[in-house]
A and B are shown apart, each in its own frame.
Chain A
Amino acid sequence: MPQNLTGRVRHIVISKGTEMLRIPTHALVFIEADGNYSNVYTLDGKSQMVSFQLGQLEDRIGDQLGEDGSRFIRLGRGYIINMDYVHLIDISRKRLVLSDCMNFYRELEPSREVLVKLKAYLDARIEDERQ
């Protein structure tokens, strides 16, 4: 579970007007664009609609987590995903499955081009970690 230097769990906070949404970073699986709104999907299988565009949430995550936010990846106009939950990339069938292999399972359909890049990026990370 990701923690900051004080040992506390890090959260992403989405706050507007009278509402605040706090999500432990490890529990945020992905965010899906829905016009001017976005749906935030969490590890418990639930989703929450927020009145922010995906680009605005991308800024929030970048601002709040800094380089720790590198686990989150923007995929085209449609999604922000937590790469820790990338379970299956099937380029030929244009499928991306996010799962924790326990409770959460969800198929997304980003473009093939994005899937090619995502796979190449994750492959490169594996190589980097080996060296």
Chain B
Amino acid sequence: MKDNKKEIRDDEFRVIGKADGRTDGEARRRNRLIGAVSLALVLLIGLFFMLRWPKGPAEEPEGGVFDPAPVPVQAPGDTLPLGHPAEGTFTERVDTVINDVHLALFIPHNAVPELTLGVPSGEGIILTAQAADVKAEDHKILGAFVLKGKPLAWGLSKKGYCAIIDGKITVGTSENSPLFEEATEKEGYFFRQYPLVDKGVLVENEHKNKTMRKGLCCRAGQVFVAVSMTDESFHDFSQALVDLGVEDAVYLVGGHRSGGWWTGEDGATRTFDPEARSGTYANETYIIWK
């Protein structure tokens, strides 16, 4: 009998009869290595031709009947929006896997965001998720909170914030944000949560446990809710958002039981998780789009 040389983690799987017998992690590393070697080879060939090619003035070609029409070129660094342009009011779900993290992105179309105190009700809501945390002992809202211009809670608690003023969402990380005052002056909304991504940089958080994670994300002018379909640590979830190109993100109440639902283009309403429960505490707060 051989030694049990094949170490495996609980999140890995491998096909036993494969000729190479590699784990998916090993295969990934091998693919990365092949990719890096190929890239280096291409760069070397490119460099060779750049150095050898004569640098004479290039002749301007004359225009012809069959000249291709100019096509807008995406500049490096430009980020394309996620999902598809839509006319109706609904939530589009886009699934992606980044670094083994399965993310479901819920993109509201043609809807206006606001906050609610208590479980949201009424027609026309197409996306909702629990927003600020509530203290377990006294059920008070954690951190500054403004509801339609009325401050209901004060304090820092967490450095991430979300402000909704004139229907526009701003997500950021700051101990002091003038948007709190602006929200009170303009009948806006404001809440605080853990920051996940600050200007494209991952923000580390203390909690190391794994569970279903939710985040409110801004990317290329788009705002959406990202939900991990697998149990993830704060770090892995935030890293996946960074790799997705998210510029700013704050946490939304996570865990399988946290409330929230979405309405798709087919008009059907679904919860993020079958175990999700709303209304556990009186002071639950929600961000909604309608």
| A residues at B contact (CB < 8 Å) | 52-53, 55-56, 58-62, 65-78, 80, 91-93, 110-114, 116-118, 120-121
9 pairs, A vs B, C-beta closer than 8 Å? A56-B2, A58-B6, A59-B2, A66-B17, A70-B16, A74-B13, A76-B11, A77-B8, A116-B230
CB-based contact A53/B4 at 8 Å: yes
Closest B residue to A91 using CB positions: B229
Interfacial chain A residues near B102, Cβ < 8 Å: 91, 112, 116
CB-based contact B14/A74 at 8 Å: yes
Q: Dominant SS at the B interface?
A: loop
Q: Is B9 an interface residue (CB 8 A)?
A: yes
Q: Number of contact residues on B: which range applies? A: 20 to 34
| B residues at A contact (CB < 8 Å) | 1-2, 4-6, 8-19, 21, 24, 97, 100, 102, 229-231, 273-274
Chain A nearest CB, measured from B262 CB (Å): 14
CB-based contact B2/A117 at 8 Å: no
- Contact status of A58 and B10, CB under 8 A, knowing A113-B230, A116-B97, A116-B100: no
Chain A nearest CB, measured from B231 CB (Å): 6
Contact of A113 among B2, B100, B274 (CB under 8 A): B100
CB-based contact A73/B15 at 8 Å: yes
In the complex, A65→B19 CA distance in Å? 11
Interfacial chain A residues near B8, Cβ < 8 Å: 55, 74, 76-77
Closest B residue to A90 using CB positions: B274
CB-based contact B16/A80 at 8 Å: yes
CB-based contact B229/A117 at 8 Å: no
CB-based contact A71/B17 at 8 Å: yes
Closest B residue to A59 using CB positions: B2
In the complex, A55→B19 CA distance in Å? 17
CB-based contact B1/A59 at 8 Å: yes
Contact of B17 among A53, A68, A91, A117 (CB under 8 A): A68
CB-based contact B1/A73 at 8 Å: no
In the complex, A117→B12 CA distance in Å? 8
In the complex, A58→B4 CA distance in Å? 9
Apart from A77-B9, A113-B12, list 13 A-B contacts with CB within 8 A: A55-B4, A55-B6, A56-B1, A56-B2, A59-B1, A59-B2, A68-B17, A74-B8, A76-B9, A110-B10, A111-B10, A112-B229, A116-B100
